[in-house]
Amino acid sequence: MTSFESSRVAEIHRELHTHLPSEPALRVKALESLLVEKGLLDSRTVDAWVEAYTEEIGPKRGAHVVAKAWTDPAYKARLMADAPAAIDEFGYLGGATSHLKVVENTDTVHNLVVCTLCSCYPFSILGIAPNWYKTAAYRARAVRDPRGVLAEFGVEIGDEVEVRVWDSTAELRYLVLPQRPAGTEDRDETALAGLVTRNSMIGTQRDLSPKTGEAS
């Protein structure tokens, strides 16, 4: 065994036995422990947040809001007029969202949401933004070539349909209200919520399937 190999073996041995975290993980640990000591953060808050957003929240809240709007015209009117207040009616824990506007798809309008600056996103009702939403490619192309982006997601938009792109900010985020699929007149709110996908509420999906939550 050469000395290079033996030192490499020693290095691997050390890594295996110490589990030194990655550089960003170390920095996060350092930051969290300092913030907790300064009373700026409760580590239980961080743990609970991570658990909730990794396991639970996802887009279910948003889907529920959409299904309610489909089945209850009075609710839809309140949602379009003042989305945060209408969403608060559900009583989601943790103050669902303070600055939100709902934009409605129709036969002649398709809405697409982006954040060109960073990754502003209504995560309290849609969960963590998908990775593509955070890419520089999406942030640039959604504005420059929305129809091209939509085509990439398998969404063909006819020329008669206007595509509106909404640029989210820290002060105003957007939720797309997709169209209710045909043939779902007999479904109740819960069944309808199961048809609503995350992408349909961002706008990278247009037609929802009456059968599953998958792209039609």
Partner 1 sequence: MSGPDADAIGPLKRKDGEPVFDEPWQAQVLAMADALVQRGAFTPVEWSDTLGEELRRAERAHSPDEATTHYQAALGALERLLDRKGAVTAEALSDRRDGWARAYLATPHGQPVKLDNG
- Report the catalytic residues: 115, 118-120
Q: How far is the CB of 182 from partner 1 (least distance, A)?
A: 25
Residue 102 bridge partners (DSSP)? 175
Residue 113 bridge partners (DSSP)? 166
Among 1, 2, 4, 24, binds partner 1 (CB under 8 A): 24
Among 9, 12, 154, 156, binds partner 1 (CB under 8 A): 154
- Residues within window 105-124 making contact with partner 1, judged by CB under 8 A: 115, 117-120
Nearer to partner 1, 155 or 193 (CB): 155
Q: How far is the CB of 135 from partner 1 (least distance, A)?
A: 5
Which DSSP category does 164 fall into? E
Which candidate, 91, 155, 79, 163, places its Cα nearest to that of 124? 91
Residue 158 is which amino acid?
G
Q: How far apart are CA 102 and CA 168, in angstroms?
A: 12
Regarding 136 and contact with partner 1 (CB under 8 A), the answer is yes
Which range, of 1-9, 62-70, 135-143, 158-166, touches partner 1 by CB under 8 A? Answer: 135-143
Which range, of 9-17, 62-70, 106-114, 179-187, touches partner 1 by CB under 8 A? Answer: 9-17
SS3 161: coil
DSSP letters spanning 100-151? EEEEE--SSEEEEEE-SSS----HHHH-SPPHHHHSHHHHHHHHH-HHHHHH
Nearer to partner 1, 28 or 85 (CB): 28
Regarding 186 and contact with partner 1 (CB under 8 A), the answer is no
Q: What angle do CA 180, 110, 63 make, to 5 degrees?
A: 40
- From the centroid of its chain, how far is CA 147? 21
Among 2, 3, 4, 38, binds partner 1 (CB under 8 A): 38
Regarding 22 and contact with partner 1 (CB under 8 A), the answer is yes
Q: How far is the CB of 92 from partner 1 (least distance, A)?
A: 15
Nearer to partner 1, 77 or 117 (CB): 117
Q: How far apart are CA 178 and CA 200, in angstroms?
A: 6
The encoded tokens of residue 63 equal: 């889907």
Q: Which residues contact 35 (CB under 8 A, 6 or more apart)?
A: 41
Contact footprint for partner 1 (CB under 8 A): 14, 16-22, 24-35, 38, 40-42, 45-46, 49-50, 53-54, 95, 115, 117-120, 127-132, 134-138, 141, 148-149, 152-154, 169-171, 199
